[in-house]
Amino acid sequence: MTDPSKPMIESAGICPLCGRGNGCAGAAGRSHEGCWCAGEVFPQEIFERVPEEFIGKACICKECLDAFKRNGG
Ligand SMILES: [Zn+2]
Ligand SMILES: [Zn+2]
């Protein structure tokens, strides 16, 4: 029983790059201001790797962000 008119809220807690949990407070129904991602800088280039339907919906996880920064973007 899936309702196509509802947003894919379950996927909001999944990192769109690695498919693991992103630990996002917003996905857990809490304030996004307390989320770890609110205090991080996400390079624009990392969003180019995110499938369009996930942009603005699901957070990238810290592991992917760290790996991206380590590799110099
Ligand atoms: Zn990830
Ligand atoms: Zn978040």
What residue numbers bound the domain in which 42 lies? 24-70
38 occurs within a structural domain = yes
Looking up tokens 């790996």 gives: 67
Interval 17-69: pLDDT, tens: 999 999 988 888 888 888 898 899 999 999 999 999 888 888 999 999 999 99
**Contact (CB, 8 A) for 14 and 59:** no
Which ligand has the nearest atom to the CA of 19? 1
User: What's the number of domains the chain is made of?
Assistant: 1
Which ligand has the nearest atom to the CA of 21? 1
CA atoms within 13 A on the CB side of 42: 19
- First vs last Cα of the chain: how many Å apart? 41
14 occurs within a structural domain = no
pLDDT computed for residue 3 by the predictor: 53
C-alpha–C-alpha distance, residues 46 and 50, integer Å: 7
C-alpha–C-alpha distance, residues 36 and 25, integer Å: 8
Which ligand has the nearest atom to the CA of 49? 1
**Contact (CB, 8 A) for 26 and 13:** no
9 occurs within a structural domain = no
6 occurs within a structural domain = no
Q: Say if residue 5's pLDDT is above 60.
A: no
